[in-house]
Amino acid sequence: MRTVSFWIAWWIAGMLCAQISPAERREGFRPLFTGRNSMKVYAGAEWRFERGELTGPVHSAGWIGTTAEYENFILRGEYWIDKGNTHESNSGIFIRAQRTPTPWVDGYEIQISLQDPKNPTGSIYGRVPTNLERMREIAPEKQWNRFEIRACGPFITVRINDEVVQEATLHEHRRGVIGFQQHHPGVTVKFRNLRIKTLSPAECDEGWKPLFNGKDLTGWFPTGLARWSVKDGAIVGEGGMGHLFTEQTFTDFEVRMMIRIRPFKEDSPFKPNNGIYFRAQPNPENRNNWPVGFEAQVFNHEGPDYITGSLYNRVRANRLLTRDGDWFAMRIRAKGDHIQIFVNGQKVVDTRNGDFKSGHIAIQCHDPFTIIETRDIYWRPL
């Protein structure tokens, strides 16, 4: 049986886990843990509060979480991890999770690992990966790393050490608990300064409007040979070179979407190649040929060609953050001659170019060897 003094100590330690500045308090941030009724060990052994730090049970696996559920919020804190003598430093932060043994499935997990190439730190585990080499630069082990997770409706943004590393759109989970993982014995993982601000629907409204209804191709028209369909809420392009244009045209705007490309056949010798056109028009000499306008390239392989996020034939993206077969987020911002392209929230192109002032947005199917899937397409005027 726990004594009163034990729970008082936990309450004090939990409050110490959240150092909230006066400015944050005015914004509405509060400690995530405020006492014994605000937290629960859902699997594994007890966690410890020591010196204002929440420390995982080194000799077992499991997770601790809030008893309250959260829908729209900003969560801030810091983590510290050391893999010790184990094969990897693996932990995670669960959001909108259900109270089950598998919250990374029954919720979202913001991964912490610098040894997992499929789901490096900052990945939304099993759904939208980050880039391992980039995350090793941003968030080394054995140091305190700041994080901020913003969840507003389907939009999830993750910052680590003030760098945006994730900007995904997901619809599986809308509400759940927040939790912290001890993935396997031998790893030391600690969290501190855990504070949260809940957000109203009005605070989540950033003016994004859907360009695709998720059901059919209303508002779009095709050119070229590609076949276009809607499957599982995504626009699928395949079968040959062609483009799918919005009926609407845009001048100063921002557009965001989730993209996945893969080869038509697993053993195809051709690398998938695609792009997103903007301020574009069907080719006036041959509507079935390449459009006239800007293209944000989608090509997930290093080499002489322009990589994903590049402004094709103009500016090469400063790093490759994506790979074939996995979803990633792309955001394009065009205001006057100022063009910016973001991949998973990371700015990869920032340039000035006034060649095209206005036009359609178009999804490219580059060739018969590539399949492109595009979903969650939103835009807003600038």
In whole angstroms, give the CA distance from residue 76 to residue 161.
11
CA–CA separation, 159 and 307 (whole Å): 23
Q: Which pair of structure tokens corresponds to residue 310?
A: 């590049």
Our CA dihedral for 365, 366, 368, 371, rounded to 10 degrees, sits at -50
Note the pLDDT of residue 269.
81
| Last-in-domain residue among 204, 229, 251 | 204
Which of 204, 234, 249 is the endpoint of a domain? 204
Looking at the structure, do residues 289 and 141 belong to the same domain, yes or no?
no
User: Which residue has tokens 């040959």?
Assistant: 240
CA atoms within 13 A on the CB side of 10: 18
150 forms beta bridges with: 74, 157
Tally of domains within the chain: 2
Contact predicate 381/358, CB 8 Å: no
DSSP reduced 3-state for 203: helix
For 113, the domain range is 4-204
Residue-wise pLDDT for 220-251, tens only, equals: 999 999 999 999 999 999 999 999 999 999 99
* Residue-level pLDDT at 252: 98
Same structural domain, 172 and 251: no
313 vs 52: CA distance, rounded Å: 52
Q: What is the mean pLDDT of each run of 10 residues along the chain (382 residues)?
A: 45 60 92 86 88 89 95 98 90 96 96 96 97 96 98 97 97 97 92 96 95 98 97 96 98 98 84 96 93 97 94 97 97 98 97 97 95 98 98
My answer on whether 336 and 255 are in the same domain is yes
Q: Are residues 76 and 147 in the same domain?
A: yes
Among residues 305, 264, 303, 257, the alpha carbon closest in space to that of 278 is found at 257
Q: Residues 170, 105: contact at Cβ < 8 Å?
A: no
| Final residue of a structural domain among 151, 179, 204 | 204
